[in-house]
Structure 1
Amino acid sequence: MLLLVLSSCKQKNDSTSKSSKKKAADSVVLIKAGPKLSTQYIDNKKKSIESFYSKNWGRQGANGGLLVAQNGQIIFEKYDGYANYKEKSPMTSTTPLHIASVSKVITATAVLKLISEKKLTLDQKVTTLLKEFPYPNVTIKTLLNHRTGMRNYAYFTEKKGIWDRHKILTNQDILTLMATKGIDLEFKTDTRFSYCNTNYAILALVIEKVTGMKYIDAMEKIIFKPLGMTDTYVFDYEKDKKTATPSYRGNFSLVNMDYLDAIYGDKNIYSTPRDLLKFDDGRNSANFLDPKLLKLAYIAYSNEHKGTKNYGLGIRMVNWDTGKNFYFHNGWWHGNTSAYITMPDEKVTIIALSNKMDRRTYKVKNLATLFGDYPFKLADE
Structure 2
Amino acid sequence: MNFIKKTNILHISLLFLVLSSCNKEKKKVELSDGELPKSTMPKMKPLQKAETKLTAEYSNTKKHEIEAFYNKNWPNNSANGSILVAQNGQIIFERYEGYANFREKTLITKSTPLHLASVSKVITATAILKLINAKKIDLDQKVNTILREFPYPDVTIKTLLNHRSGIRNYAYFTDRDKTVWDRHNILTNQDILTIMATKNIGLEFKTDTRFSYCNTNYAMLALIIEKITKQSFEDAMKNIIFEPLGMKNTYVFNYNRDKDTAVTSYKGNKVEIGTDYLDAVYGDKNIYSTPRDLLKFDRARNAANFLTPELNAMVYKPYSNERKGTKNYGLGIRMVNWETGQNFYFHNGWWHGNTSSYITLPKEGVTIIALSNKFTRKTYDVRKLSVLFGDYPFKIGDE
- Fold-level match, TM-score > 0.5? yes
Alignment of 1:126-205 (within 5 A): 126-160=143-177, 161-205=179-223
5+ residue gaps, structure 1, are 1-26
Q: Do the aligned partners of 1:64 and 1:81 also contact (CA within 8 Å) in 2?
A: yes
Contact 1:252/1:356 (8 A) holds in 2: yes
> Is residue 2:228 matched to residue 1:210?
yes
1:207 counterpart letter in structure 2: I
Q: Do the aligned partners of 1:32 and 1:71 also contact (CA within 8 Å) in 2?
A: no
Evaluate the alpha carbon distance shift between residue 32 and residue 318 of structure 1 in structure 2; reply closer, same or farther with a 3 A threshold: farther
- Higher radius of gyration, 1 or 2: 2
- 1:64-103 alignment, distance < 5 Å: 64-103=81-120
Distance 1:33 1:285 in 2: 11
Separation in 1, partners of 2:337, 2:112 = 34
Q: Counterparts of 2:304 and 2:222 in 1: how far apart (Å)?
A: 25
Deviation at 1:290, TM superposition (A): 2.4
Q: 2:289 aligns with which of 267, 271, 274?
A: 271
- Determine if contact 1:97/1:354 at 8 Å carries over to the other structure: yes
Q: Cα offset for 1:60?
A: 6.5
Q: Is the 8 A contact 1:152 1:198 kept in 2?
A: yes
Counterpart position of 2:18: none
For residue 325 of structure 1, the aligned residue among 334, 337, 343 is 343
Counterpart of 1:37 in 2: which secondary structure?
coil
2-structure distance, mates of 1:224, 1:214: 14
1:113 corresponding residue in structure 2: 130
**Stretch moving more, 290-299 or 268-277:** 290-299
Tell me, yes or no, if the aligned pair for 2:45 and 2:300 is still in contact at 8 Å: no
Cα deviations by residue, 1:177-204 (Å, 9 ceiling, x for unpaired): 0000000000000000000000000000
1:54 maps to a residue whose letter is N
Report Cα offsets for 1:331-355 as digits up to 9, x if no partner. 0000000000000000000000000
Structure 2: distance between partners of 1:253 and 1:341: 29
- The reply on whether 1:61 has 2:78 as its aligned counterpart is yes
Report the RMSD for the aligned CA atoms in angstroms. 1.2
Distance 2:189 2:343 in 1: 34
Q: Which amino acid aligns with 1:347?
A: G
**1:380 and 2:398 matched:** yes
1:339 maps to which of 343, 357, 360: 357
The Cα shift of 1:289 comes to 2.4
Deviations 1:198-227 (A, max 9, x none): 000000000000000000000000111111
Supply the distance in 2 between the matched residues of 1:291 and 1:81 (Cα, whole angstroms). 42
The answer as to whether partners of 1:250 and 1:358 remain within 8 angstroms in 2 is yes
SS, match of residue 30 in structure 1: coil
User: Which residue of 1 is the match for residue 30 of structure 2?
Assistant: none
Structure number having the greater helix percentage: 2
Gaps of at least 5 residues in structure 2 are 1-43
Deviations 1:132-171 (A, max 9, x none): 1000000000000000000000000012211000000000
The equivalent of 1:12 in structure 2 is none
Per-residue deviation at 1:295? 1.8
Q: Quick one: distance in 2 between partners of 1:105 and 1:229?
A: 15
In 1, Cα distance between equivalents of 2:111 and 2:49: 22
2: CA distance, partners of 1:28 / 1:181: 42
Q: CA deviation at 1:367?
A: 0.1
Partner Cα distance (1:333, 1:165) in 2 = 18
The structure 1 segments of at least 4 consecutive aligned residues displaced by more than 6 Å after TM superposition are none
State how far apart, in whole Å, the 1-side matches of 2:104 and 2:113 are: 16
Equivalent pair of 1:32/1:281 in contact (CA under 8 Å):
no
Alignment partner of 1:257 out of 258, 265, 275:
275
Q: Is the contact between residue 77 and residue 97 of structure 2 (CA under 8 Å) also seen in structure 1?
A: no
1:338–1:158 Cα change, 3 Å: same
Q: How many residues align?
A: 355
Q: TM-score, normalised by structure 2?
A: 0.87
Task: Show the counterpart of 2:303.
Answer: 285
1:360 to 378, 382, 386: 378
How many angstroms does 1:294 deviate by? 1.7
Q: Deviation at 1:325?
A: 0.2
